[in-house]
Amino acid sequence: MTNKDIEALLRRELFEIAPDINPDDIDRGADLREEFDIDSMDFLNLVVALAKNLELDIPETDYSKMSSYDDLAAYLRLRMS
């Protein structure tokens, strides 16, 4: 899976959780939960959906490494390499 594929998947799954977001307005360095006003359950649903789509095991201990959009994308790229 390419970086572009990972980005597309991440955007798609974010839109599923927060359909009112405009992907072009994403502050890639901001805290995901605050920027999209998502709660812990939404964040968990996002991580589970990404893990399922990418066939990854994402341990709960890694959740803190995924606080921003860029952090999450970098984490996924690293795990997919």
Over the stretch 35-78, which tens digit does the pLDDT of each residue have? 888 899 999 999 999 999 999 999 999 999 999 999 999 999 99
pTM, to two decimals = 0.91
Domain count, the chain: 1
Alpha-carbon distance of 78 to 81, in angstroms, equals 5
Q: Domain of 69?
A: 3-80
pLDDT at 59: 96
Contact 49, 13 (CB under 8 A): yes
Contact 51, 57 (CB under 8 A): yes
Q: What is the domain-level CATH number for residue 22?
A: 1.10.1200.10
pLDDT at 22: 83
